[in-house]
Amino acid sequence: MKKYFFDRIGQGCSEYDFRGRDFAEPAKAFQLAQMLALDLEVSGGDEFAGGSVNVRNADGHKLFTVRIGEPELVAA
């Protein structure tokens, strides 16, 4: 098992994951990152719209990034 950390990066704020989660393979960490990004997109919070979930390993190296839904465009 390896430990993966899921940082949420937004326009004006960032939340770093200091606890992390253990997974046997990187694909499982990627799936969790996708679910976190979807949850942040549908939860209605604008602070992370257009941001990302960055996954890093225990050494602090970024492994991959999953984009959070783009901010909605409102017609004038």
Cα distance between residue 59 and residue 68, in whole Å? 24
Model confidence, pTM: 0.84
Residue 67, helix vs strand vs coil: strand
Using the predicted structure, report yes or no on whether residue 21 has a pLDDT greater than 80. Answer: yes
Q: Where are the domains of the chain?
A: 2-67
pLDDT averaged over every residue in the chain: 88
Q: Please list the alpha-helical segments (H only) found in 1-76.
A: 26-42
List pLDDT tens digits, range 37-59: 999 888 856 778 789 999 999 99
